A = this chain, B = another copy of it.
Amino acid sequence: MTIHTITPAPQAPVVPGRGRLRPLGLGDVRITGGFWGDRQSVNGRHTLEHIGSRLESEGWLPNFDLAPTGGLVEGRRGREFSDSEVYKYLEALAWEIGRTDDPTLEQRFHDVVARVAAVQEEDGYLNTRFGRPGQPPRWSDLEWGHELYCLGHLFQSAVARERTRPGSDDGLLGIARAAADLVCAEFGADGRDAICGHAEVEVGLAELSRVTGDRRYLAQARLFVERHGRKTLRDIEWGRKYFQDDIAVRDAKVLRGHAVRANYLASGAVDVAVDVGDNELLKALRRQWDRTIARRTYITGGQGSHHQDEAFGDDWELPPDRAYSETCAGIGSIMFSWRLLLAGADPRHADLIERTLYNVVATSPAPDGRAFYYANTLHQRVPGIPADPDGTSPRASSSLRAPWFDVSCCPPNVARTLASLDAYIATADAGGVQLHQYAPASVRTSLDDGRIVAFDVDTAYPADGRITVTHMSDADAAWTLSLRVPAWAAGATLRIVTSDSVQQRSVDTGMVEIRHAFRSGDLVQLDLPMAPRVSSPDGRIDAVRGCVAVERGPEVLALESVDLGPAGVDDVGRVAIDLDTAPVERDGKVWVRVARLPLADGRWPYGEEPAGTDAESVEVPLVPYHEWAERGPSTMRVWIPEAP
């Protein structure tokens, strides 16, 4: 594990003090278009405005204006964690300003920070819901109050700002430091022996430590991580695992409980493990990741199969129709995987990030960037009901993308993720640069020895599987360009075109390394096989036994009722896939043959073996799962029963 001393720090959300890989930030890597560039553009042009507008109309931002007037006790609106949405919005603004230098957003950022500043008390305390006369006392409801959770997001926003606009005069870093100092005083080794019911302050403190160099914050993050599992939070109906307060982080075998909390805590624990050099803890977290991926993760990368407590189920409990797969849990999983990737350079972590980006993060926002999925079902049995465009939807039972939720953590979480996505594309190490995710991009960075490398990535991925790296700088000594070949991409080929040779070869999945003194104009071309694949579930995932999913590249595909007309059925509940004919790609779509199941109605549904399908199967198209319900209400399924 290499110790990084990088100046200036990369403009990235996670900058560990050590690790196998060093992140490249917005100053090094820019997404220049394509699948993710389009989404970043919608995010910057529409989603940020939409979120800002809703934060105002819901009162969550105006809450901050009420404190100086004394109106907060009577007039505060929103749930106990609504401050955090403002901070995630600030974080998203900070990244977007870093990407685009937009002066309107810059002004908005200053305005919002000023409003937040007005609420901070002299000793650094900052929350609109606790601590004033008439409000519950500070830290009086650690299970549900979310005070430290909110501060964690505040810290992340200040970190994003300081990394993208170091030394800005907006004052946010000072606000964050004052609050962090209070947290250290209140919850330090000699202070209150407690944790927050929702992990998040751990990642916030760890990054604040990295950005300020103040190790007290790291020590405090470590204390919070270590205090999990000591049962200091009250027991609740779903058990203390909901808060990850059932088992010490280093003793746990798998992620469990509330899926967002679990991933945020695991992320903070990696930060601590890496920065304090606790390899035992790091190993424990890797093992937890392994088992969580093997047994508790949907094919989309989504996590969480319980609606009631927004939680992981038991091993193998992955019902597609009751998938919770909260968008924020997907983002939390990316946070966890990214940290493990930086620490250990295992491409499986980047594989999961890709899967989760395409099939959870990309699924949430509508094409216009103004409506979102909070939960991401893999099987919709009843066509959804369009959400009120001016209203607030219930978070989990929303069956179509909705503009806002009573608990609206997901929209700003998507926004901050998309605005900082450039930082998840590539990393560097002593020997070269690693490309983990494929998007049109320009990379301009320096290696550890100070040599400049520059290359452009051109690709229509995932529409097409060809990724072309064109070198734009001349190296006088060899360095290593590493490309991730996803685990699904067996049969990938690599072509290297330099001034004096053309090589072509097949490459294994994992990381393929090309060591060369690249010259401007040299090309490295990776071809990933994009033919549709039929995937079967492990036999222990009972809920999808006898079904297959069809995938293409990094995208999971889905069958929607709107495409079932030719099959003579109006929902996806009575079709089976005919696998005698392989899925084919034609006209930019993947087609499969399905047959209608002849099923009797109105009788006791348990008895004789069901009959086979009708003789005739018909061809129907599938859509990428992330596009589902974009053509209006429909039924949908990812897992399609095999014809008997």
Contacts and interface: CB of A to CB of B under 8 A. Distances in A.
B604 A536 contact: no
Contacts of A601: 294
A545 B641 contact: yes
Nearest to A239: B397
A319 interface: yes
A607 B395 CA distance: 32
**So how many copies of this chain end up in the complex?**
2
Nearest to A320: B542
Contacts of A237: 394-397, 406
Contact of A607 (B315, B535, B606, B608): B535
Contacts of A181: none
A606 B394 contact: no
Contact of A321 (B317, B487, B536, B537): B317
Interface string A287-307: 000110111010100000011
Contacts of A539: 574, 576, 597, 599, 610, 641
A538 interface: yes
Contact of A610 (B322, B487, B536, B543): B536
Contacts of A547: 542, 545
Contacts of A314: 321, 381-382
Q: Find the residue from A291, A293, A317, A540 having the highest chain B CB count within 10 A.
A: A540
A481 to B, nearest CB: 26
Contacts of A543: 319, 321, 542-543
A538 B238 contact: no
A244 B543 CA distance: 29
A236 to B, nearest CB: 8
Contact of A605 (B295, B322, B487, B606): B295
A187 B547 CA distance: 53
Contact of A606 (B299, B315, B396, B609): B299
Contacts of A610: 536-539
A155 B635 CA distance: 44
Contacts of A320: 542
Contact of A549 (B290, B317, B603, B606): B606
Interface string A213-248: 000000000000000000000000111000000000
A637 to B, nearest CB: 8
Nearest to A319: B319
Interface string A582-605: 000000000000000101011111
A381 B317 contact: yes
Interface string A321-346: 11000000000000000000000000
A573 interface: yes
A316 interface: yes
A538 B322 CA distance: 19
A143 to B, nearest CB: 15
A596 to B, nearest CB: 11
B537 A605 contact: yes
Interface string A248-290: 0000000000000000000000000000000000000000001
A546 interface: yes
A129 interface: no
Contacts of A308: 307-308, 396
A380 to B, nearest CB: 9
A610 B295 CA distance: 15
Contact of A537 (B317, B536, B606): B606
28 contacts: A237-B394, A237-B396, A237-B397, A237-B406, A238-B394, A239-B397, A293-B604, A297-B605, A308-B308, A314-B321, A315-B573, A316-B381, A316-B573, A319-B321, A321-B543, A536-B606, A537-B606, A538-B599, A539-B576, A539-B597, A539-B641, A540-B573, A540-B599, A542-B543, A542-B639, A542-B641, A543-B543, A549-B606
Would you list the 9 A-B pairs with minimal beta carbon distance, nearest first?
Answer: A538-B605, A546-B546, A308-B308, A237-B394, A545-B546, A539-B610, A314-B381, A307-B308, A536-B609
Given A237-B395, A542-B639, 16 more contacts: A295-B605, A307-B308, A308-B396, A314-B381, A314-B382, A315-B382, A316-B573, A319-B321, A536-B607, A536-B609, A536-B610, A537-B605, A539-B576, A539-B599, A539-B610, A549-B606
